[in-house]
Amino acid sequence: MNKRNLGMLGEQLAANFLISQDYTILNHNYHCRFGEIDLITIDQTAKKLVFVEVKTRISKNFGIPAEALTQQKQNKIIKTIFHFFESSHCKNYSGWRIDLIGLELDKQFKVKNITHLKNILN
């Protein structure tokens, strides 16, 4: 499986996980000139808009998923979020946050571990 397909699989698995945790998925792969946000969701329990970065790994050769969120990537995410707010009609939410979903898959691409880190850029 190539890197792009692995990323798409990870995003779908993350979306399924979030739905099971009472989230509503608003958007997959929101793109703008600044970057991309993997998932835009609503946390129904907290009543917050949540921007989710998904990192998927099938081995630990490149570290754990959360280690892949570099400062450069964080800056792109923030710029992309501000673009989203400027260009969308989702301005009626009282709060928002950025979460990270880290997925570790086995060789058959089955989930071994899911880590959900909330409010990662607090």
pLDDT tens for residues 63-116? Answer: 666 677 788 888 999 999 999 988 876 666 678 999 999 999 988 999 999 999
Is 90 inside any structural domain?
Answer: yes
Residue 41 confidence (pLDDT): 96
Q: How high is the pLDDT of residue 62? A: 61
108 within a domain of the structure (yes/no): yes
* Domain membership of residue 19 as a residue range: 3-117
- Give yes or no for a contact between 42 and 50, defined as CB atoms under 8 angstroms apart: yes
**Residue 110 within any structural domain of the chain:** yes
Whether 56 maps to a domain, the answer reads: yes
- How many domains is the chain built from? 1
Token pair recorded at residue 100 = 């990270």
Which tokens sit at 42? Answer: 């609503």
Quote the CA–CA distance of 6 and 21 in Å, as a whole number.
23
Alpha carbons 84 and 31: distance in angstroms, whole number: 9
- CATH for 61: 3.40.1350.10
Residue 32 in any domain: the answer is yes
For residue 46, tell me if it sits in a domain.
yes
Q: Is residue 122 one of the residues assigned to a domain?
A: no
**pTM of the entire structure?**
0.89
Report the candidate in 78, 71, 65 with the shortest Cα–Cα distance to residue 34: 78
